[in-house]
Amino acid sequence: MKRIIFIGIDDTDILEGPGTGKIARGVATRLEELGLGRHRGVIRHQLLVDPRIPYTSHNSAKCVLFETDHPADIFRKPCIEYLAEHFQPGSDPGLCICEPEQVNQELEDYGASAQIEYLSKKQAYELAQKLEVFLVELGGTGDGVIGALAAAGLSAAGNDGRYVHLRGIKEVAGMITAGQVKEKTDTVCIVDDRGQMVPDSALIDSLGWLRPTRINGEPRLRVCLEKDGDGREVWRPIERKLRAHSGK
């Protein structure tokens, strides 16, 4: 029976190299190429920004949602091989592979804690061992296991993060109706800043960068009414591209 496997990835990058988001998208593509199932997106989760935590730009972790009928053990080798081939020297990559039946409130709470508290690698491994979740470090200090486990917990909880990869969203540009967004992408629905459904006929200025939010376990695009240069009201995405900043 098909279900979603949560593949958490963190700390694969350095300032001069490709980001963890790109590497996570590559993992999703590689797994599809191997015939293991279908990706249901890659989600970015913001974690705590704290001087004690080394990070590349924003301290975010990624989670690949992968729909499959294969056992989770099958994913270990291809994920490890892809990350070993693509993570940047000097990074501290971690990988987590979690089955839906391994998800419980403790894992979800761990993910939420990683957004507001300083957590240790020891805590990550203790929880992973308790829940029998696959967690492995692949280089450097291995501190990426903290964020990798947190990303899996946050994605599984279903109400955190934005989709940095979702079928069709990178092909959307310019003005487009809400109905066309749903037709061209895996976005489930379009909602305003109060959570109300926007009609399919609503015209949206995509700003060339659509990134749905994970709400109730599904990708929903959040939009708000703004005035354009001519003073007309148009719908625009609430989620906007962040400016990268350096910092360790």
CATH 3.30.70.2200 fits 3-162, yes or no: yes
| Residue boundaries of the structural domains of the chain | 3-162, 167-237
In tens, the pLDDT along 79-132 reads: 999 999 988 887 889 999 999 999 999 999 999 999 999 999 999 999 999 999
Q: Per-residue pLDDT averaged across 177-198, rounded?
A: 94
Secondary structure class of 82 (helix, strand, coil): helix
Q: How far apart are CA 31 and CA 159, in angstroms?
A: 25
Structure tokens at 68: 């499959």
| Cβ(159)–Cβ(214) below 8 Å | yes
The model carries a pTM of 0.90
Confidence of residue 30 (pLDDT cuts 50, 70, 90): very high
| Cβ(192)–Cβ(222) below 8 Å | yes
Q: How far apart are CA 40 and CA 163, in angstroms?
A: 10
Q: Which of 56-60, 106-110, 175-179 has the lowest mean pLDDT?
A: 56-60
| Kind and range of the H or E run holding 220 | strand 218-227
